[in-house]
Amino acid sequence: MGLTGGITSPKVFNNTLRNTSTSIMFDGLSYSFLAAPSNLPTVRLSVNSVLAVCYTNCSYTIRNIFKITNLSLIGTKLRILLANFTNLANFINISSVPLSQISIQAENVSCLLLANLTNITALNITCQLPTNYDGSPQLPAGNLTFQVFIPGIGYIGLGAGVQPILVPFAPTSLQNTSGLTNGGYSNSILGSGFPANNQTLSLLSTGAVSNGLSIVICGVSANILFTSNTRINFVVPPCTAGGNMAVNITYGSNSNNSLIFTYLTPSVPVPTIDYIFPNSSNPMIKSTLNIVGKNFGANSSAFNVYLTNSSGRVYQLKVITSNNSYIRCGLSGGLPGNFTVNLNYPDSNGNAVPSTSGADQFTYVS
């Protein structure tokens, strides 16, 4: 604070000694918040959520208070040993840190600290990893570098020579090893090291990549329906060539093509869409959609007709009339967008029939 205005009429005003820093790491403190006046600037410093105050010389050095010296996976439990490189007692009483505030994490995997198996004073931590239905640890493939966070100290990383946990990418088998060349039916890859997010995707999504995971068979990307750490559900793509085809699976920097899927030539002609009309309609007005093709069959109750798009929206259409080469459906309306016309034969040829490129595209125009 300061005074001005002469002897007879002093006035009080705020005197800004310096502007507050705009840095998210350095936060300038006003003299009015200090316990005692000083002619030197004081700065509050935060590094890895650890607070400190410096004055005069505000440079700082990151000190290795301690590091992880051993990281071992025992079943579904992770054991971590720490070593103190300086006198930790000079900084914080680690025995006073609540165990509930200590976290262990790598990538998107969190490890639950086990209080009964942890001796934080002895720098010995044990935590429980999430598990799969078969009791194996739920870990995605790759080199997993676990870090420990302790309040008041910050993040603790691996010490020199300590290796991360290596999780292999290991597809082991296909639920079904063969199917018809028309594709469109679901299948599963079993193994370990898959993305452990249990994300369900749209059956007929145009996107073939889920969380860095892709499947290619016969040069065609397969639509991924569901992933867990030990299972991938996907839609088998069509393959006119037929025969044995490698299943090429890629997840991040990991790849595998050891699994083989055999395409069989169908004993009966495969249903095929040649063209549709109209290829667009106003979703606010009820109308009809006509599908022209081959081998639809005489029984309209044997199939369903859907409009689907990449966002997962699905509209089932009511079949009005049909024969082996023609289907007429009712359009009941929906949200604007581009859609794919799909025929579903749940009891015979799979979930979706092949069609001429572009012939099955429909647009709801607002």
DSSP type of residue 159: P
Please check whether residues 155 and 176 belong to one and the same domain: no
pLDDT of 224 reads 86
Helix (H, G, I), strand (E, B) or coil at 110: strand
The strand ranges marked E within 48-152 are 50-55, 66-74, 77-84, 103-106, 109-113, 124-128, 142-144, 147-150
Q: Are residues 73 and 163 in the same domain?
A: yes
Query: CA-to-CA distance for 216 and 219, rounded, in angstroms?
Result: 6
Cβ density class 307-325: b for 16+ within 10 Å, e for less: bbbeeeeebebebeebeee
Model pLDDT, residue 345: 74
Kindly tell me the number of DSSP H helices and DSSP E strands found in the chain: 0, 32
pTM, two decimal places: 0.60
User: Is residue 61 domain-resident?
Assistant: no
Q: Are 63 and 88 in contact (CB under 8 A)?
A: no
3-state secondary structure of 94: helix
pLDDT at residue number 257:
95
What distance in Å separates the CA atoms of residue 328 and residue 258, rounded to the nearest whole number?
A: 44
Per-residue pLDDT of the chain (366 residues; tens, 9 = 90+): 333 444 444 454 444 445 555 554 555 555 455 455 555 556 666 665 666 666 666 565 656 567 899 999 999 999 999 887 655 555 556 677 788 889 998 877 889 999 999 988 888 999 999 998 888 999 988 888 888 888 877 788 888 889 999 999 999 999 999 988 888 788 999 999 998 764 443 333 334 455 578 999 999 988 888 888 999 998 898 898 889 999 999 988 889 999 999 998 877 677 888 999 999 999 888 899 999 998 888 888 888 888 887 666 778 899 999 999 999 999 988 888 888 888 877 655 455 566 666 678 899 997
Tell me, what's the pLDDT at 281?
A: 92
Q: Do 291 and 344 reside in the same domain of the chain? A: yes
Residue 48 domain boundaries: 2-55
Q: Tell me whether the omega of the peptide bond preceding residue 10 falls within 30 degrees of 0, making it cis.
A: no
CA dihedral of 70, 73, 76, 79, whole degrees rounded to 10: -10
Q: Is 115 in the same domain as 184?
A: no
Q: Do 112 and 84 belong together in one domain?
A: yes
Q: Are residues 90 and 163 in the same domain?
A: yes
pLDDT at 256: 94
Q: Are residues 247 and 292 in the same domain?
A: no
Do 175 and 160 have their domain in common? no
Domain CATH code at residue 160: 2.60.40
Q: What's the domain count of the chain?
A: 4
In terms of domains, do 248 and 201 share one?
yes
**175 and 151 Cβ atoms separated by less than 8 Å:** no
Indicate whether 71 belongs to any domain: yes
Q: Which residue has the tokens 């509209």?
A: 315
The pLDDT of residue 45 = 64
Do 90 and 157 belong together in one domain? yes
Q: How do 280-281 and 361-364 pair as beta strands? A: parallel
DSSP per residue, 170-229? EEEEES-SEEETT---EEEEEEES---S--B--TT-S--EETTEEEEETTEEPEEEEE-S
310 inside domain: yes
- The reported pLDDT for the residue numbered 346 is 65
Boundary-marking domain end, from 55, 76, 98: 55
* pLDDT recorded at residue 261: 97
CATH number at residue 344: 2.60.40.10
Is residue 60 assigned to a domain?
A: no
Asked if 161 and 79 sit in the same domain, the reply is yes
Say if 223 falls within a structural domain.
yes
Q: Judge whether 107 lies within some domain.
A: yes
Domain termination residue (choose one: 31, 55, 79): 55
Same domain, 85 and 154: yes
Last residue in a domain, options 211, 245, 264: 264
